[in-house]
Amino acid sequence: MRGRGPAYCDRGSARAQARLTVSDEAGIPLPRVTITGHFFDDYWLDEVVTGRTNAAGQVTFKHVGSPCVGAIAFLVTDAVMAGRTFDRTTGILTSYVIPLP
């Protein structure tokens, strides 16, 4: 997965956007992948969002809401696609995962 995180935080009303592109090991975009992630800031913002990639393997998440404290970041916590598993240690959708000891 490749992504670009939120670029800024407005003090009055926080607006942030994160765009992800999901592709396989050969760089081919993967459609219909369900992505779960969190927008969070330095102190209390923790908004869970879920979306599905389009035919180009892209999904965009937007946060509009309460003002943030510090910077807003985006963290992918899960990716689901039939026949593949999300390896959180590498950020790769793979057909197998070797658990850490």
Whether residue 99 is contained in a domain is answered as no
CATH number at residue 7: 2.60.40
Paired tokens of 74: 């985006």
Domain holding 47, by residue range, is 2-94
Does residue 44 form part of some domain? yes
Sheet holding 73-80, edge to edge: 46-52, 34-40, 73-80
Strand, coil or helix: what is 77?
strand
To the question of pTM greater than 0.85 for the whole model, the response is no
- Give the pLDDT mean for 6-34: 77
Residue 100 lies inside a defined structural domain of this protein? no
pLDDT digits (tens, 9 = 90+) for 50-96: 999 999 999 999 888 776 777 788 888 888 888 777 777 776 776 66
Residue 101 lies in a domain: no
Number of domains in the chain: 1
pLDDT tens column, 39-62? 888 777 888 999 999 999 999 998
